[in-house]
């Protein structure tokens, strides 16, 4: 696929489909990682003399404006991050997507300036499953620009108007973020340095079955944590108390455990967990009184909420000699300090991992909650090989799926 080096952007209106889908507490951005990841491409285009028109979604509005999903706070943060590298005092903000405000804002942009459109999902055409409705929105977006740069990796697995339909209507290229993400994912799927360890966590095993299926042919070790671990433990015959359990997935999980044995892939599950009587209060973060229990003896009235101390040591040992590590999903309820140590141990395990030759492992944090955990727990993001901006997109790529947004950027 082409890159922005292949586009003539000076004086042109360049539509940048970014992923600025950040968490908000009211109008306060609680994690600006995705905005910061989008800045290099935006800055580069602005400094090259482009009129940069940035667009993104935020949250899941139902095709109509909702104040709580406005990108206005993002425009303010983007202004701060871009600093004086663009023309104008601030990022211009259009209060609609393709209406009068968008047209007037874009028309008024001087060379080297940046505008941000309002949330694309405020228009039903963005996410419509009706091709005609989606294409109509793409045509109206195309009227705002001379060329297109796809840089929202976190959205490339969606067949949405701004991701899939719009590139076909304009000269297009991949931004720096997407180019980097694809390069990293290829290192996880082609000519991988071994030993190759994969750490998967998060709530639902059903969200990860596809990637487990695909990585059973590639990984040397698969470490499981988070809520999804309890379905695996149940499949091994353990009682899991009131822990999160997807009983309908037990046959599939047993099948994967058997395939792993047949192929010599080491499957690592918790040997103990931190359990509590109820889900912890994430608002006040009041003390939760966790109990460390072996997986063979989880009381019926307790739920597992993190991997335990022996499991933390086990997982660190299984990562210690890895040459490549991919991690997606926390080990527990990392947002609460009483259940954060399992996730902290895995993050530290990635940093400590050394390949058999002694060099640091190539480590990839697969976006979403894992990336948020790295920041919340105070780790230096730059110490990891790569922190992805798209958890779902990363997983679908690793499953071997064709991602619509990447297919749309391929050279015609």
Exactly one of 112, 154, 202, 368 is catalytic; which is it? 368
> What is the distance of C-alpha 34 from the center of its chain?
9
| 169 labeled binding residue | no
Catalytic, 90? Answer no
Q: Is 304 annotated as a binding residue?
A: yes
CA gap 18, 257 in Å, rounded: 38
The answer to whether 57 is a known ligand-binding residue is yes
Would the annotation count 158 as a binding residue? yes
Calculate the dihedral angle through the C-alpha atoms of 382, 385, 389, 393, rounding to the nearest 10 degrees. -170
Based on the residue annotation, tell me whether 368 is a catalytic residue of this protein: yes
Please give the Cα distance from 50 to 45 (Å, whole number).
6
CA distance 401 to 81: 34
> Quick check: 133 and 126 in contact, CB under 8 A?
no
Q: Of these residues, 34, 77, 312, 344, which one is catalytic? A: 34
**Annotated binding residue 292:** no
Backbone phi, then psi, for 292, in 5-degree steps?
Answer: -90, 120
Q: 200 and 223 in contact (C-beta within 8 Å)?
A: yes
Contact call for residues 120 and 56 (beta carbons, < 8 A): yes
- The position carrying tokens 């459109």 is 117
The verdict on whether residue 283 carries a ligand-binding annotation is no
CA angle 16, 22, 24 (to 5 degrees): 140
Is there a binding annotation on residue 119? Answer: no
244 belongs to an annotated ligand binding site:
no
Q: What is the 3-state secondary structure (H, E, C) of 217-258?
A: CCCCEEEECCCCHHHHHHHCCCCCCCCCCCHHHHHHHHHHHH
Task: Tell me whether residue 208 is annotated as binding.
Answer: yes
The SS3 of residue 197 is: strand
Q: Active-site residue 49, yes or no? A: no
Residue 123, annotated as binding a ligand: no
Q: Rounded to an integer, what is the distance from CA 177 to the centroid of its chain? A: 13
Strands (E) located in 94-252: 114-116, 147-150, 172-174, 196-200, 221-224
Asked if 18 and 174 count as a contact pair (C-beta separation under 8 A), the reply is: no
68 annotated as ligand-binding: no
Q: For residue 20, say whether it is annotated as part of any ligand binding site.
A: yes
Q: What are the two backbone dihedrals, phi and then psi, of residue 291, each rounded to the nearest 5 degrees?
A: -120, 135
Say if residue 369 carries a ligand binding annotation.
yes
Set 2, 36, 76, 204: catalytic member: 204
The binding site for (2R)-3-phosphoglycerate consists of 34, 121, 158
The binding site for ATP consists of 208, 304, 335, 367-370
The binding site for substrate consists of 19-21, 34, 57-60, 121, 158
The binding site consists of 19-21, 34, 57-60, 121, 158, 208, 304, 335, 367-370
Active site residues: 34, 204, 368, 392
């Amino acid at each position: 696929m082409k890159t922005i080096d292949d586009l003539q952007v000076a004086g042109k209106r360049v539509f940048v489909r970014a992923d600025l889908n950040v968490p908000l507490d009211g109008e306060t951005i609680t994690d600006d990682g995705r905005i910061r990841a989008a800045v290099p491409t935006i800055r580069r285009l602005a400094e090259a003399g482009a009129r940069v028109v940035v667009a993104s979604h935020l949250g899941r509005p139902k095709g109509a404006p909702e104040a709580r999903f406005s990108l206005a706070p993002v425009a303010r943060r983007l202004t701060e991050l871009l600093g004086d590298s663009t023309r104008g005092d601030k990022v211009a903000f259009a209060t609609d997507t393709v209406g009068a405000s968008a047209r007037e804002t874009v028309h008024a942009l001087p060379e080297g300036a940046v505008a941000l459109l309002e949330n694309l999902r405020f228009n039903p055409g963005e996410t419509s499953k009706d091709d005609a409705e989606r294409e109509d929105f793409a045509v109206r977006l195309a009227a705002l620009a001379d060329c297109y740069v796809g840089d929202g990796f976190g959205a490339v697995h969606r067949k949405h108007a701004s991701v899939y339909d719009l590139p076909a209507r304009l000269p297009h290229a991949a931004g720096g973020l997407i180019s980097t993400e694809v390069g990293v994912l290829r290192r996880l799927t082609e000519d991988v340095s071994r030993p190759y360890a994969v750490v998967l966590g998060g709530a639902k095993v059903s969200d990860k079955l596809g990637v487990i299926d695909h990585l059973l042919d590639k990984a040397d070790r698969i470490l499981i944590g988070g809520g999804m671990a309890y379905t695996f433990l149940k499949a091994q015959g353990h009682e899991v108390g009131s822990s999160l359990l997807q009983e309908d997935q037990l046959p599939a999980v047993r099948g994967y455990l058997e395939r792993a044995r047949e192929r010599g892939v080491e499957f690592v599950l918790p040997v103990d967990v931190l359990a509590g009587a109820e889900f912890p209060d994430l608002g006040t973060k009041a003390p939760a009184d966790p109990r460390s229990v072996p997986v063979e003896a989880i009381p019926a009235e307790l739920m597992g909420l993190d991997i335990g101390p022996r499991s933390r040591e086990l997982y660190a040992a299984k990562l210690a000699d890895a040459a490549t590590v991919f991690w997606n999903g926390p080990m527990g309820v990392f947002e609460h300090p009483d259940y954060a140590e399992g996730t902290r141990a895995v993050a530290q395990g990635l940093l400590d991992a050394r390949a058999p030759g002694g060099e640091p492992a190539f480590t990839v944090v697969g976006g979403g909650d894992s990336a948020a955990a790295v920041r919340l727990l105070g780790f230096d993001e730059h110490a990891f090989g790569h922190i992805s901006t798209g958890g779902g997109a990363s997983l679908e790529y690793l499953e071997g799926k064709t991602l619509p947004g990447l297919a749309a950027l391929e050279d015609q």
